[in-house]
Structure 1
Amino acid sequence: MTLFGYDLDGQQIAALVSLLAVLALWLVVLGRERGYARWFRQWEADRKARRDAELAQHGQGPKRGPWG
């Protein structure tokens, strides 16, 4: 097989295929990691909003600063 004017044998083709497979794997992992980070930030914001609403319902405001 010829690629960009170079003759590639079976071992080089296998190495190229495995390199492309590893690149695809890393792209999938990166996408899932970014999705998890986005989900976790949203979950944390929702949890804080629920807690603040619960504190406001009991007559306590959300604490601001280290002394409340």
Structure 2
Amino acid sequence: MTLFGQTFDAQQMMGLVSMLLLLAFWIMVLGRERRYARWFSQWEADRKARRQAEIAGERSDQDQHRGPRGPWG
């Protein structure tokens, strides 16, 4: 086979095919890794928001149970 004026034998063709398959594999891996990173960032932000909501809820519950404070009630 001739490609760009260069004649390739079977061994060179196998090397070219394997390099192209490896490139396709790494493109898939990169896409999955980026998708996982986005999912993890979103999960972490949701977890932080839930935790802050819990803390805010606990503070409002504590403020309601305390009753009047200070000399003026």
Q: TM-score range by the shorter chain?
A: 0.7 to 0.9
Task: Structure 2: state its 5+ residue gaps.
Answer: 61-73
Cα RMSD between the aligned structures?
0.9
Q: Equivalent pairs: percent with the same residue?
A: 65
Runs of 4 or more above 2 Å deviation: none
Task: Structure 1: state its 5+ residue gaps.
Answer: 61-68
Higher relative contact order (CA 8 A, sep 6+): 1
Greater CA radius of gyration, 1 or 2? 2
How far does residue 40 in structure 1 lie from its aligned partner after superposition?
0.3
Alignment partner, residue 3 of structure 1: 3
Give the TM-score of the pair, scaled to structure 2.
Answer: 0.79
Which of the two has greater helix per residue? 2
Give the TM-score of the pair, scaled to structure 1.
Answer: 0.85
* Count of aligned pairs: 60
**Aligned-partner Cα distance in 2 for 1:58–1:19:** 58
